[in-house]
A and B are shown apart, each in its own frame.
Chain A
């Protein structure tokens, strides 16, 4: 038999010893980890790689979505009737609330106009779908199926009907990375609804747990208090539900209370979210709001 004459692809060609290659690889990796999220070029590199991977990742969603749709199609007639009855009841309740809300909005607009304040209305930019959960040290982050091309940009807020979920921290062409409220170091300015006191809610990198920072140990706060966005950061519209206080520990040795909270929205479950941007009074929307789950550039 004739020897096989071919060349391995460049990726597989051997040159240096594996130990030397490993050392170089580890050094480059350590530099990348240290600079990830700090250097602009590392963001660009991630964005470029994400753009390259996005067609594969989005294509993978299609059969999964089809399977989910097929599963939904198996609902029985009785289930559907029960769902319709429930939805009708919800609809009646929401109509009543909507009438009240319209009245309050009109009243609020008049009062704001009198006081000369800018309005801070909620603007839904797009409904997006979860694509991929982060793992390991990034378990409190996830990817969504919309990026710059769909009008989603870093800094926008992500919400679901239960409240604030997190914030878009990086956007490539068709995908965006979201840091949940629980992501390590994710700061959210909040207000205690009962007292009106302002504080900063900080993620700890632990599922379904956040804490309030720099709240004086004698502050008027107790378990069960509801926290809403204060709107001071310009990212989240004011008044959105954020979290509920779980425990308050006051230590005589410390000037600050240890306040542990649970996010109102189940930030690690659910597939669909709304990307919202606060609208400054008088400003026109950049793009008309769309309501298309999934990716459709």
Chain B
């Protein structure tokens, strides 16, 4: 690895690209499975959490465009107005890229607080757009889903760390 120059190091290993794509696809598929009207409104947005994870990893191939495309697919799958989740995911990816290594340096409590803040801001944005469009979105689901998402974060991080490490080993081999 030490023989790589800076520009090469900024490129992501091929295994990681596959890992990002597969984990985002799996998260989207999970989000598409309907678990009932009430559960669906309260469960966290897994694709958003996975995107947030990858966008905070150094040299990760996930970027703002990845977020936009995944968000657009999520818009179609969750019947939200086309562009709503695309914008939200794009913004989340940008926030993740801006935080980058700083998130890793935080203790777990700080990381959870940051994730909660990001998810709440996203939820607030979605709620605000809903109000602008004239609907009366339920405030509870907009609060509960980010909380559940934050509680799920350690598990998601564990799973994604494993993929991240696996992809790194595959690239070294």
Interface residues in chain A, defined as those with a beta carbon under 8 Å from any beta carbon in chain B: 1-4, 6, 8-9, 11-12, 14, 18-19, 21-22, 25-26, 28-33, 36-37, 42, 45-46, 49-50, 53, 56-57, 60, 64, 130-139, 141-143, 177, 184-185, 204-207, 268-269
Contacts and interface: CB of A to CB of B under 8 A. Distances in A.
Nearest to B83: A32
Contacts of A33: 81-84, 87, 129, 133
A2 B1 CA distance: 8
A268 B12 CA distance: 45
A37 B75 CA distance: 13
A149 B8 CA distance: 50
A139 B82 contact: no
Contacts of A30: 83, 87
B33 A60 contact: yes
Interface in B30-68: 32-34, 36-37, 40-41, 61-68
Interface stretch (B90-98, B109-117, B149-157, B158-166): B90-98
A158 B133 CA distance: 25
B79 A134 contact: yes
B8 A49 contact: no
Contacts of A14: 10, 63
Nearest to A32: B83
B74 to A, nearest CB: 9
Given A8-B11, A137-B135, A18 B32 contact: no
B64 A22 contact: yes
Nearest to A31: B83
A3 B137 CA distance: 52
B14 A11 contact: no
A18 B98 contact: yes
B134 A184 contact: yes
Contacts of A21: 63-65, 90, 94
B137 A136 contact: yes
A12 B61 contact: yes
Contacts of A32: 81-83, 86
